[in-house]
Amino acid sequence: MAILEVNHIEKHFGKTKVLKDVSFSMEEGSAIAIIGSSGSGKTTLLRCLNFLEKPNKGTIKVRDEILFDADNAATDKDADLRKKRLHFGMVFQSFNLFPQYTALQNVTLAERLLAQEQPDFKQNKKEILAKIDEHGKQLLDRMGLTERMDHYPHQLSGGQQQRVAIARALALQPDILCFDEPTSALDPELTGEVLKVIRSLADQKTTMIIVTHEMAFARDVADHVIFMDGGVIVEQGDPHQVIEHPKEERTKQFLSRYAQG
């Protein structure tokens, strides 16, 4: 059974159709890389999955549960948004860390807020928060940031900040981890350390969707590649097939421009 099923998604901004009949599915433990030029709809697709944008048409299912159906108003309640977003961890282009919090505090913030809603929070506050902090430390250790967990964002390099953002996205144990050009705000020398972390997550069979311009990374790490252009999926399939031997002319043109650039 597919962990994620996206069917016939459309997103309009006024008269502009940014996504046009987008459909794909993925299995648990797999990694999908989405490639394409700027304006192709890649980021908008991620934002629809994370319910930062509402699709105009289509359905989104996770673990066979319909999270959104444009034809069913019952699936479009603002009160349910937070619960739906818990299925998707999001790592943005910019790190979006809270400057007033340490790395550990940034990672544990969401867990702490959710814990306050537990009926036994007041009685067991100390134990619950200690467990959350321990989980946060474990995640930062996975990111190679054990000695940086008490540092504030301005004391961290861009690569370190993005690794904190990845740890934060993992904290609530989402079904699917989404990356939106996670290295685009980094200097070239810092890109490798973030890609290494994502490669490690792929090796651990973390279910991921990665919007990226790193073609070699997409080819070597993803299980499936989707090429988007003009709001549609032009071609998708095995990474080596799509990137090295594309069938569609638009894919060939994009990869040719990319190689020349």
Q: Is the pTM of this model over 0.85?
A: yes
Inter-helix orientation angle 158-170/125-142, to 10°? 130
Q: What angle do CA 89, 136, 169 make, to 5 degrees?
A: 10
pLDDT digits (tens, 9 = 90+) for 220-240: 999 999 999 999 999 999 999
8 Å CB contact between 33 and 239: yes
Mean pLDDT in consecutive groups of 10 residues from the start of the chain, 261 residues: 95 96 97 95 96 96 96 91 93 92 97 93 93 97 96 96 96 96 88 93 96 92 96 97 95 83 52
Q: Which residues contact 144 (CB under 8 A, 6 or more apart)?
A: 163, 193, 197
CA 83, 22, 198, 165 dihedral sign is: negative
8 Å CB contact between 136 and 104: yes
pLDDT digits (tens, 9 = 90+) for 7-16: 999 999 999 9
Cα separations in angstroms, 94 against 42, 169, 196, 241 = 16, 13, 18, 31
